[in-house]
């Protein structure tokens, strides 16, 4: 087993794009952790003259927005929001996806049929509209946005988990467990799940990127949590000033793009390292 793991790490480390992604994400996590220390005061408070362009005033390296709030502070604090929502939404999606996919494959028959129809239902509902509906019904709070994003992104994970479970459930080691009289839950969680997990985790890492994009769209529309600094909201706030100060939109957008880019590169790298045969495709 350890040799497999080192093999995996070596393959990942050979992938230059994935390493770039890893460095970017580590930098982002650094910024997110350091934000309360670098900018200890509330990032949403007004600190200077409005609409100072980036690189003009050394006190505000990324400039100020239309109200005179420090963009650098909002970006740093926004990194916390982005990472937290991305991780939690992906975790929610992974939990739902694994539960649905594993039960469908393990029990088969009408359970499988019902759960797959359920999955199809969630693939049919236009996902962003569903998120907006949930947020409008439950209220504009960061927890609800996170859960809503998780609820619309679990379907690919359910499908993958189901496929992995299908290929594993009739293997000899599972039959041996059955013969020993192990219960369903123990076989599913203790025996099959650990073997099915690696590709599912890879997919979950890609779901984080999708969740970040979702959250940014919801905040951009002004339906995110109004009390929390978020990159999407910053773009939405700056929209009215694109004729004079388009940098207010450009800077947080670049942050979103780099984050999603880095997460995608890591996800692709993990995928390639996991399936070395597919690499040359």
Partner 1 sequence: MRRIVLRRLLQIIPLVFAVIVLNFVLIHLAPGSLFDVMTSEQQITDPAMLDQLRHTYGVDQPTWVQLVKYIWSVMRLDLGFSYRQNAPVLDVIMQQLPATVILMLAATAIALLVGVTAGVMASVRVNTIWDNLISLGAVFFFAAPSFWLGIMMTVLFAVKLGWFPVGGMRTIGTDNGAFADALDVMYHLALPATALGLFYAATYARVMRASMLEVFRLDFVRTARAKGLSPARVVLAHVMRNALLPIVTLLGLQLGTVLGGSVVIEAVFSWPGIGSLLFDSVMSRNFPMVLGVLVLGSLLVAVANATVDILYLRLDPRIRLR
Binding residues for partner 1, rule: CB under 8 A, are 17, 117-118, 120-121, 123-139, 209, 213, 216-217, 220-221, 223, 232, 235, 239, 242-243, 246, 249-250, 253, 256-258, 260-261, 264-265, 281
Q: 127: phi > 0 → left, psi -120 to 50 → alpha, else beta; which?
A: alpha
Nearer to partner 1 among residue 166 and residue 221 (C-beta): 221
* Cα atoms found within 13 Å of the Cα of residue 74, Cβ hemisphere only: 30
| Smallest distance from partner 1 to CB 258, Å | 8
Give CA separation, 172 vs 57, 98, 169, in Å: 68, 22, 9
| Smallest distance from partner 1 to CB 242, Å | 5
DSSP 68: -
| Smallest distance from partner 1 to CB 260, Å | 4
SS (H, E, C) 135-201: HHHHCCCHHHHHHHHHHHHCHHHHHHHHHHHHHHCCCHHHHHHHHCCCCHHHHHHHHHHHHHHHHHH
Nearer to partner 1 among residue 46 and residue 129 (C-beta): 129
Nearer to partner 1 among residue 128 and residue 177 (C-beta): 128
Nearer to partner 1 among residue 128 and residue 182 (C-beta): 128
| Smallest distance from partner 1 to CB 111, Å | 17
Extract the runs of DSSP E, i.e. beta strands, from the chain. none
Are the beta carbons of 53 and 247 closer than 8 angstroms?
A: yes
| Smallest distance from partner 1 to CB 99, Å | 18
Q: How many residues does the chain have?
A: 281
| Smallest distance from partner 1 to CB 1, Å | 31
What residues have CB less than 8 Å from 205, skipping those under 6 apart?
Answer: 90, 263, 266, 267, 270
Nearer to partner 1 among residue 133 and residue 175 (C-beta): 133
Nearer to partner 1 among residue 24 and residue 47 (C-beta): 24
């Amino acid at each position: 087993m350890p040799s497999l793991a080192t093999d995996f790490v070596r393959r990942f480390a050979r992938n230059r794009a994935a390493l770039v992604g890893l460095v970017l994400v580590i930098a982002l996590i650094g910024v997110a952790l350091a934000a309360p220390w670098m900018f200890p005061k509330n990032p949403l408070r007004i600190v200077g003259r409005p609409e100072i362009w980036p690189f003009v005033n050394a006190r505000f390296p990324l400039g100020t927005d239309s109200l005179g709030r420090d963009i650098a502070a909002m970006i740093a604090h926004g990194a916390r929001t982005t990472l937290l929502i991305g991780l939690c939404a992906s975790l929610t999606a992974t939990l739902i996806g694994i539960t649905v996919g594993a039960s469908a494959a393990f029990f088969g028959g009408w359970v499988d049929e019902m759960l797959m129809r359920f999955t199809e239902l969630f693939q049919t509902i236009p996902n962003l509209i569903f998120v907006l509906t949930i947020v409008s019904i439950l209220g504009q709070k960061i927890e609800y946005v996170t859960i809503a994003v998780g609820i619309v992104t679990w379907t690919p994970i359910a499908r993958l988990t189901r496929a992995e479970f299908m290929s594993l459930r009739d293997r000899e080691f599972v039959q041996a467990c059955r013969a020993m009289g192990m219960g369903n839950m123990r076989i599913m969680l203790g025996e099959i799940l650990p073997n099915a997990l690696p590709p599912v985790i890879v997919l979950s890492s890609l779901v984080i990127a999708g969740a970040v994009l979702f959250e940014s769209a919801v905040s951009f529309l002004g339906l995110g949590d109004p009390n929390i600094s978020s990159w999407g909201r910053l773009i939405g706030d700056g929209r009215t000033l694109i004729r004079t100060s388009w940098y207010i939109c450009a800077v947080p957008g670049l942050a979103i793009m780099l984050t999603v880019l880095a997460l995608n590169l890591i996800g692709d790298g993990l995928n390639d390292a996991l399936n070395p045969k597919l690499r040359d495709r």
